[in-house]
Each structure stands twice: as C-alpha cells, then as structure tokens.
Amino acid sequence: MSKPCCTTKDVLIYTPNLIGYSRVVASLFSFSLMIFAPGQWLLVLDISSHWCQMYSTSLLQIHHKSNEGNANRFFLVRWYYQCYPFFGYCCVSAELTYVTMFALAYAKEGILQQVASVLLKVCIPGCTVKQIVNVFQLTTSCYAVAEYDAQMKNKSK
Amino acid sequence: MSKLYTSKDVLFYIPNLIGYSRVFASLFSFFVMIFIPDQWLLAIASYIYSFSADLFDGMAARKLNQSSNFGGLLDMVTDRCSTLGLLFILYGEYGTESSYLNYQFYKALFLFLALLDISSHWSQMYSTASLQIHHKSNEGNSNRFFLVKWYYQCYPFFGYCCVSAELTYVVMYALHHLNAAAAAAAGVTATGDNDDLTLAKTVADWVLKMCIPGCIMKQIVNVFQLTTSCNAVAKDDAHKKNKSV
C-alpha cells in the first residue's frame, strides 16, 4: 500500500530543507556579526570558501568555472561565472573596498578623502556580492566533497 | 542489498559532527574575545576544546570506519581559520601603541605568522591533492632537512611542535589579560588576590618559555613545506609539459 500523498507541508519539513533553514539563520547571524566585527568574519569567510573550493576542484578534478557545473546555480553565482565584466567588477571591488577603507583611516580630509569615499560607495555592492558568492562556494564545495566520499564508499562495497 | 551512501551520510559522520562542534567552539571563543573580553578565560577554554577535539575526530574516524575527504577538509579549514582568528585577535591586542610594548614588532610578527601559516598549508594541501601523494609518507621524506624528517617520523615531536604553536598563541592572549588585570589591581586589592594573579602570570610565563621553541620549529617546518610543495607542483607542471610535447 502506498504512502498517502505527500503534502506541501511534508516537503517544507524535508530534512535537507530544515538544514537549509539553519543555513539561512546562520547567514543572517553571520551578517549581523559582520556589522560589528567585519574584519575577522571577512577573513574567515575568504579563507574557508577559497580553501574548500580549491580542495574540491583538485580532488574532483573538475573546474568550478565550467558552464555545465553552473547551470543550476543561484543566479548571482551564475552571473558571476558567466559574465566576465561582472566577475571582474566583484573581484576588483572586494579588494578596492579594503584598500579604500585603509586610505580613509588615514585621509580625514582633502581630495584623497573625497575620492576614497566615492570609490568605497561604488565598490561596496560588488564586495557584498563577492561575499555572497563565497558563502555559496563554501557550501557547494563542501557538499561536492561529501558527495564524492559517498560515491567512493559505494564503489568500495 | 547493501546501503547506498549519499553525501548527507558523509556530512553526518560522527567525526564530522565532532568537527562541527570544533567550528562552533572556535567561533564562540572569538565572539567572547571580541564582545565579552572580561570572560577571556571562557574564551580560552572554548578555544582549547576546539583544538583538543581535533584529536578525537581523527580517532573516531578510524574507530568507526568513517574517514572521509570531507572530514579531512573540515579539519584543515577549521585549524587554519582558528589559528588565523586567534592571530587576528593577538594583532589587535598587542598591536596597539602603548608604553611597554613594541607594538610595530608585534603587528609584523602576527601578520607574518598568519601569512606563513596560510601559504605553507595551502601549497602543501594543493600539491598533495593534485599530485595524489601524501606529504607524510616516509619515502617522500627521506631526503628532507632533519627537522622536517623528525617532524614527520617522530609523533611525540610532531605533537609537541603542533601543540606548542597553538599554546604559544593562547598563552600570549592570556598573558595580555593577566598583565592588564595585574596593572589594574596594583595597590587596589588585597595581597591574597595579587598572589593568585602573580602565580597565574608565573605559570603562564613558564608555559610560554616551554612552547616557544616548538612554535619556532613549526614555523621552520612551514617554510620548508612551502618551498618543497611549490617545487613539487612546478616539477609536475614540467613533467606534464614534457609528456604533451
């Protein structure tokens, strides 16, 4: 006898979706902390996301920039890899955000301060997008490694 | 029919659950260090838990047959981010202008330690993942500098170096707060309290002196790891280029 029809509520409480909700909570929590201790969180996110990405592509021998890999991804991540100017804007903005913040710590007035302020406003959106992409990279690469582990385990049986 | 494993199974392996508790404990310790600096002892306890649990997740993986690449990755990233986070905090605490600290020296020191840690471990991990050889294998190590050989062949020495490096940073964090507490308490509290503080400072100083040699040796090994892994990757590149010609 088959199980009664699956309702929407069933789907909403699938375990992977519960995990997804905890991810949302964790992201929001981390963004709130970032307002108060941004330097440390940006550092941890940068290192962990790039490290996992590098490790997963080395181990799995696939390139994260390949188009097939990106077809089903979140739109921001797809744009990031498929549109080179957008990719360039995000990467350069992230670096320039840090550089202009450094400049603004020392330049309190004058033309340098004005230029740096404007530049900072232009770059912050790109920096934010890059951090969002980093979060996705971190989660999808960890998942890919775990998937690879499962496949290896199945093969060895 | 035998069970078909999915990535979710791997993500929930017990050693990986231990790994997540390590991540949480590290992040919690940084939260306390930044927002509740008075509770610095709690921060240290949490950090030390995170660091010690590294031993347990490896043991659990072997005992329960739940070793995984993901677990190794989780371990490595947690280690790197924890160390980096603590060095970041130390930079902030020691790197401020004051009458008794050469703050620029400390800024340079913590920055250097962070850069060396990341670059050496990154290159090492990349070279072993893409070249598919293990850097801890004996054949790989026979021609190495003696410190590096000892590091990989003698487990107690390896343990001493790794633990010392972490403890050096933890004790430096503790000493900064103990010194601040001593300065604040000078002449204000009863002699009994000062004795406790003096004892704690003495113990901390003593632990620091025991750990600094191990920390230095770990940094030396890091330099060797960085250079040899970069060399190995370049060699592999040349090898591939020769094959394709």
Among A residues 36-95, those touching chain B with beta carbons less than 8 Å apart: 36-37, 39-40, 43-44, 47-48, 51-52, 54-56, 58-59
Separation CA A99–CA A107 (nearest Å): 12
Give φ, ψ of B230 to 5 degrees: -60, -40
Q: Chain B contacts of A51, Cβ < 8 Å?
A: 73, 76-77, 80, 122, 125
Between CA B103 and CA B92 the distance in angstroms is 10
B15 near A CB under 8 A: no
A139 touches chain B (CB under 8 A): no
Radius of gyration of chain A (CA): 20
**Looking at the predicted structure, is the pLDDT value of residue B194 above 60?**
yes
Q: Give the integer Cα–Cα distance in Å for B93 and B78.
A: 22
pLDDT grade for A143, boundaries at 50, 70 and 90: confident
Q: Which residue has the tokens 């990719």?
A: A87
In this structure, which long-range contacts are made by residues B34-42, counting pairs with CB atoms below 8 Å and at least 24 apart in sequence?
Answer: B34/A36, B34/A37, B34/A40, B34/B89, B35/A36, B35/A37, B37/B177, B40/B173, B40/B174, B40/B177, B41/B174
Query: Binning pLDDT at 50, 70 and 90, where does residue A31 land?
Result: low
CA dist B217 and B164 (Å) reads 10
Alpha carbons B36 and A65: distance in angstroms, whole number: 42
Q: Can you say whether residue A61 is alpha, beta or left, with left for phi > 0 and alpha for psi between -120 and 50 degrees?
A: left
**Cβ distance of B5 and A146 shorter than 8 Å:** no
Q: Give the confidence band of B33 by pLDDT, cuts at 50, 70, 90.
A: very high
Report whether pLDDT(B142) > 60: no
Is B169 exposed, middle or buried (CB count within 10 Å of its CB: 0-12, 13-18, 19+)? buried
Is the interface score ipTM higher than 0.85? no
Residue in A47, A152, A154 nearest the CB of B118: A47
pLDDT of residue A8: 65
d(CA A80, CA A8): 33
CA B114, CA B221: separation in Å to the nearest integer?
A: 15
**pLDDT surpassing 50 at residue A2:** no
**B142 or A13: which carries more pLDDT confidence?**
A13
Assess whether B79 carries a catalytic annotation: yes
Question: Is B139's pLDDT higher than 60?
Answer: no
- Helix, strand, or coil here: B112? helix
Cα(A8)–Cα(A23) distance, integer angstroms: 21
Answer with the residue of higher pLDDT: B165 or A26: B165
Q: Which of B54, B57, B75, B79 is catalytic?
A: B79
Q: Is the separation of the CB atoms in B52 and B107 below 8 Å?
A: no
Q: Is the dihedral of CA A51, A53, A56, A61 positive or negative?
A: negative
Q: Give the pLDDT confidence score for residue B164 in this predicted structure.
A: 95
Q: For position B189, what pLDDT does the model report? A: 61
Q: Report helix, strand or coil for B9.
A: helix
Closest to B149 measured CA to CA, from B75, B217, B83, B215: B217
Q: How far apart are CA B62 and CA B60, in angstroms?
A: 5
Distance CA A26, CA B85 (A): 19
